[in-house]
Amino acid sequence: MPRNRVVAFWNWFRDWHEDIASAYASGDSFWLDANLTERVKQIERRLNWEMGPYHDPDNTLAISPSVRENIELAQRIVAAAPSLAGWHFLSAKPPKELNRLAMELPGVQGAEVCGDEWVYRLTAYNKIAFFDIEVFTDYAGPAADCHLELLTRRLIECTVGEVPYLEKFAAVKVFRGTEARPPEKLTAFPALGRHIAHLLQQDRSRTNG
């Protein structure tokens, strides 16, 4: 781990955490990008971050690994975090509790979806070492296939959490609403997070048992 960069980051964060909280509360993405994003990426360029009130009313900073290779690095970064009143730190983006599975790509016209009515088929391999997923959407809009897949992947990550998404999901195949669905019963997409959590818990129980 680039220890000196991590120490420098947390020293800066300790001095500026009130300004960071104020920028987040006011939606000042320009300040956060110029200051917080820059310093996170000085540790490792593929790292990212996310903030949220996951421990309301406290603030939470998640150091996002973004790629599987950075999961352990993100964990070690968070292990080095200071103890600050009103702050919690996570080593990956957590699952989201969303009222609607709606998402859009800013700046891309027509690239917006809602997965509330989607369904999926999950295929597990090597005793759930990893999964392939087929997602059958109701989307019939103008977004390019690459944008629809990106939005679908982001919804999967939001639903299951970043680490399970990076560690467990291999192929993600996305079908538009105009494409035929298989005849067998499929699972409602909003249940994906609970489904994966249940499977992983069963796997841990078998391993520990």
Quick: pLDDT tens for 58-101.
899 999 999 999 999 999 999 999 999 999 999 999 999 888 99
Measured between alpha carbons, how far is 39 from 36 in angstroms, rounded to an integer? 5
Mean per-residue pLDDT over the chain, rounded: 93
> What was the pLDDT predicted at 5?
94
> What was the pLDDT predicted at 204?
82
- What average pLDDT does this structure show over 106-134? 93
3-state secondary structure of 197: helix
Question: Closest by alpha carbon to 44, among 9, 82, 84, 88?
Answer: 9
The structure tokens listed for 125 are 């391999």
Q: What pTM was estimated for this model as a whole?
A: 0.90
pLDDT tens string 171-208:
999 999 989 999 999 999 999 999 999 999 987 877 77
3-state secondary structure of 148: helix
> What was the pLDDT predicted at 203?
78
- Is 90 exceeded by the pLDDT of residue 118? yes
pLDDT tens string 28-43:
999 999 999 999 999 9
- Is 90 exceeded by the pLDDT of residue 162? yes
Pairing outcome for strands 187-188 and 119-125: antiparallel
